[in-house]
Amino acid sequence: SQQGEEDPQALSIQEGENATMNCSYKTSINNLQWYRQNSGRGLVHLILIRSNEREKHSGRLRVTLDTSKKSSSLLITASRAADTASYFCATDARSNDYKLSFGAGTTVTVRA
Amino acid sequence: DAGVIQSPRHEVTEMGQEVTLRCKPISGHDYLFWYRQTMMRGLELLIYFNNNVPIDDSGMPEDRFSAKMPNASFSTLKIQPSEPRDSAVYFCASRQGAGSDTQYFGPGTRLTVL
């Protein structure tokens, strides 16, 4: 079952703008990860944030985690056409060793 | 490293036929996962292995599905007999083990059952 749910389902922005997507989950977690999937390809790991962390940066990516609200956000700054993809959050629940539960994803389209 | 390798990349078969999907994980990775992705159900974990041993197969939809990992460098997912509702993209992923939470995905096998 999908524990994480992304919002919005789809997002269309202009190149250079920022893209923000959110993920909500239901149970306590060890960590939360974000993955990207380009059309017709496998998922690629972007960033991981642990339950005791509140914010993490990696290049143009910024992830926040609010465990009290059971939510996370992914911000992509200065978007590029190459950022066009689907983005998934994945949670590693404390009760499920080594299993990741993926959300339905947010499809991001960056217009040139 | 070549990453996770899956074959075939595309498979078209007729209902009732046996389908075998193959996966070669990244060398040195102790965990292997099989996922199925559909528009309706998203990405679902089917089964995962640790050191070639199946740990959790609760996501395997029916007895028609079976998975094996005869050695550390090879795994198969078999569907017998196949049905149209099995049409999906099947991903294999591997993970290094304790201390590393990142899963590395293969390119997937797009299965179409007519």
How much is the mean pLDDT over chain A?
Answer: 92
Per-residue pLDDT reduced to its tens digit, B79-114: 999 999 999 999 999 998 766 678 999 999 999 999
Give A98's contacts in chain B (Cβ within 8 Å). Answer: 31, 48, 50, 55, 95
pLDDT above 80 for B43 = yes
Residue B42 contacts residue A102 (beta carbons within 8 Å): yes
d(CA B78, CA B61): 12
Confidence at residue B98, expressed as pLDDT on a 0 to 100 scale: 67
Return the HEC string of chain A.
CCCCEEECCEEEEECCCCEEEEEECCCCEEEEEEEEECCCCCEEEEEEEECCCCEEEECCEEEEEECCCCEEEEEECCCCHHHCEEEEEEEEECCCCCCCEECCCEEEEEEC
Mutate to test the interface with B, among A3, A58, A98 (most CBs of B within 10 A): A98
Mean pLDDT within B52-68:
93
Per-residue pLDDT reduced to its tens digit, A60-97: 999 999 999 999 999 999 999 999 999 999 998 766 56
Q: Note whether B31 contacts A: Cβ–Cβ < 8 A.
A: yes
Per-residue pLDDT reduced to its tens digit, A28-38: 888 999 999 99
The residues pairing with A93 across neighbouring beta strands, listed in sequence order, are A29
Per-residue pLDDT reduced to its tens digit, A89-105: 999 876 656 788 898 99
Select the residue of B42, B50, B103 nearest A100 (Cβ to Cβ): B103
Select the residue of B31, B91, B101 nearest A33 (Cβ to Cβ): B101
d(CA B23, CA A42): 13
Structure tokens at B77: 């997912």
Assign A1 a pLDDT band (cuts: 50, 70, 90): very low
Q: Note whether B42 contacts A: Cβ–Cβ < 8 A.
A: yes
Give B105's contacts in chain A (Cβ within 8 Å). Answer: 35, 42-44
